[in-house]
């Protein structure tokens, strides 16, 4: 057997290793530990880590120093010594003290679920707005954890007075971070003003927002409905910046569709607050399409998480259509039947095969037409040419041609009413000229 040539050395960088830790929390309604840990594995993989070991523990109470019990800490420590990972990632939020204690024990970096989500958001942010939002959320997260950064000074130098020096440095850093937070908040206010102007220009247009758990298939549905080429990846949070497109493919009305950031369990509060403009796309919508991955074993829990977050956003009073996606991946179609029965306003779809997408389009049309207001229009016979143009943006319920002229019974959106008034003024000018 030929030996490999030294020229054929694999130079691809190895992914940093990570150990994952999940717990069952006392008195907390959350997904089963296994499901949540699998989700954490997805987060770690998206953040370019390679999970090498997992640990779980059912807690009766949280250890204020190490979060998990001393026995579990020892197990994880032995695994750290064996695998030599870059980091240990916990599936819950750790206090600054817990983070510091665990890093001292494991002698490696310790992260929690909020930080890994922030890390992913930082990697996926593309626009000035998204980058600013992530930076703000990161600084708010880091501020109470600054002591961890300065713990090495006393270990390295020791000596009298080092504690005071360290504390002074921490105070300086806190002041700098607070100043930076203030600047970023002002920057976001300015960005939000610009966004409000954009939204004002679209205020009279009917808006539909895609919402749902991350990786449910929102971007795929966006492409189905608009013909866009929005990024579709089998990764958590592949979409971060809100994307707005017009629904095309012979759609009868002017409707804007927004693809928003995916929701997830245990989403950091500061991150939710920071992504105000993205969330405004949801709050300003006339209709929400809640995309659900029906093939996921915990889809009902994902729906509950998404609904809770929508309520936090102040969007729980907006009309909603549930789109049960990935029905082509179901092992048994009875799952779909049960879901449709439980949620009568829902529809089953597959973005892969196109099944059910037309039914979803019809539901959007129904909700659009439900918002239309009645309007009676009288035209002169010389204006008959306008009828065909009016049909393009208005719902014509009845046409009556009589000796005195043409009477149209219409239903209009606010935007369509403004457009109609423009057409009529133009017609009068043409007739006068």
- What band does 313 get if pLDDT is binned at 50, 70 and 90? confident
Write out pLDDT tens, residues 389-410.
898 888 899 999 999 999 999 9
pLDDT for the residue 63:
94
pLDDT for the residue 145:
80
> Using CB atoms within 10 A of its CB, is residue 76 exposed (0-12), middle (13-18) or buried (19+)?
buried
For 84, the enclosing helix (H) or strand (E) is none
As beta bridge partners, residue 245 has 257
Write out pLDDT tens, residues 219-258.
899 989 988 765 555 555 555 566 788 887 678 888 899 8
Give how far Cα 243 sits from Cα of 218, 226, 260, Å. 11, 11, 7
Q: Is 315 helix (H, G, I), strand (E, B) or coil?
A: coil
Beta carbons within 8 Å of 420's beta carbon, 6+ residues apart? 375, 377, 390, 393, 394, 410, 412
What is residue 7's DSSP assignment? G
User: Which position has the higher pLDDT, 384 or 272?
Assistant: 384
Write out pLDDT tens, residues 185-208.
999 888 878 877 766 666 668 899
Q: Which of 202-216, 265-279, 342-356 has the highest average model confidence (pLDDT)?
A: 342-356
As beta bridge partners, residue 400 has 407
As beta bridge partners, residue 243 has 259
Average pLDDT of 403-428? 88
Q: Is 293 helix (H, G, I), strand (E, B) or coil?
A: strand
Average pLDDT of 333-352? 95
| Model pTM above 0.85 | no
Tokens representing 93 are 């939020």
Average pLDDT of 107-123? 90
Q: Which of 136-150, 334-348, 382-396 has the highest average model confidence (pLDDT)?
A: 334-348
Q: Is the pLDDT of residue 363 over 60?
A: yes
Average pLDDT of 123-136? 83
φ, ψ at 376 (rounded to 5°): -105, 125
For 168, the enclosing helix (H) or strand (E) is helix 162-201
328 Ramachandran zone, left/alpha/beta (phi>0; psi -120 to 50): alpha
Q: Is the pLDDT of residue 329 over 80?
A: yes
Share of the chain above pLDDT 90, in %: 44
Q: Is the pLDDT of residue 310 over 90?
A: no
Average pLDDT of 176-193? 90
Average pLDDT of 326-341? 95
pLDDT for the residue 433:
62
Average pLDDT of 32-40? 77
């Amino acid at each position: 057997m030929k030996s490999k040539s030294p020229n054929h050395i694999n130079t691809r960088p190895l992914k940093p290793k990570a150990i994952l830790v999940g717990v069952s929390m006392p008195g907390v309604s959350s997904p089963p530990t296994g499901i949540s840990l699998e989700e954490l594995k997805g987060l770690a993989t998206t953040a370019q880590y390679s999970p090498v070991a997992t640990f779980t523990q059912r807690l009766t109470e949280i250890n204020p120093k190490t979060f998990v019990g001393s026995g579990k800490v020892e197990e994880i420590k032995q695994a750290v010594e064996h695998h030599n990972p870059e980091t240990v990632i916990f599936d819950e939020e750790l206090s600054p003290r817990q983070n510091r204690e665990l890093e001292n024990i494991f002698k490696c970096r310790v992260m929690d679920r909020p930080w890994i989500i922030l890390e992913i958001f930082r990697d996926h942010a593309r626009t000035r707005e998204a980058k600013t939002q992530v930076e703000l959320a990161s600084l708010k997260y880091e501020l109470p954890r600054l002591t961890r950064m300065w713990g090495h000074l006393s270990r390295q130098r020791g000596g009298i007075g080092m504690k005071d020096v360290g504390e002074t440095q921490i105070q300086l850093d806190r002041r700098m971070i607070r100043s930076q937070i203030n600047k970023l908040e002002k920057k976001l206010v300015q960005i939000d003003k610009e966004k409000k102007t954009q939204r004002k220009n679209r205020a009279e247009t009917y808006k539909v927002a895609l919402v749902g758990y991350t990786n449910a298939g929102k971007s795929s549905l966006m492409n189905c409905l608009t013909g866009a080429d929005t990024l579709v990846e089998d990764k958590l949070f592949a979409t971060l910046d809100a994307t707005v497109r017009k629904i095309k493919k012979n759609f009868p009305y002017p409707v804007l569709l927004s693809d928003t950031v995916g929701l997830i369990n245990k989403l950091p509060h500061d991150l939710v607050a920071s992504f105000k403009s993205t969330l405004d796309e949801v709050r300003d919508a006339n209709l929400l399409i809640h995309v659900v991955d029906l093939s996921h074993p915990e889809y009902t829990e994902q729906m509950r998480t998404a609904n809770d977050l929508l309520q936090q956003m102040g969007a729980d009073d907006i009309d909603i259509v549930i789109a049960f996606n990935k029905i082509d991946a179901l092992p048994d179609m009875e799952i779909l039947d049960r879901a449709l029965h439980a949620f009568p306003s829902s529809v089953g779809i597959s973005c892969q095969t196109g099944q059910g997408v037309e039914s979803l389009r019809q539901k959007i049309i129904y909700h659009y037409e439900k918002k239309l207001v009645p309007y009676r229009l009288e035209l002169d016979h010389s204006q008959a040419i306008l009828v065909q143009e009016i049909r393009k943006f208005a719902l014509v319920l009845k046409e009556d041609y009589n000796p005195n002229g043409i009477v149209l019974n219409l239903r209009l959106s606010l935007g369509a009413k403004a457009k109609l008034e423009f057409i009529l003024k133009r017609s009068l000018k043409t007739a006068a000229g």
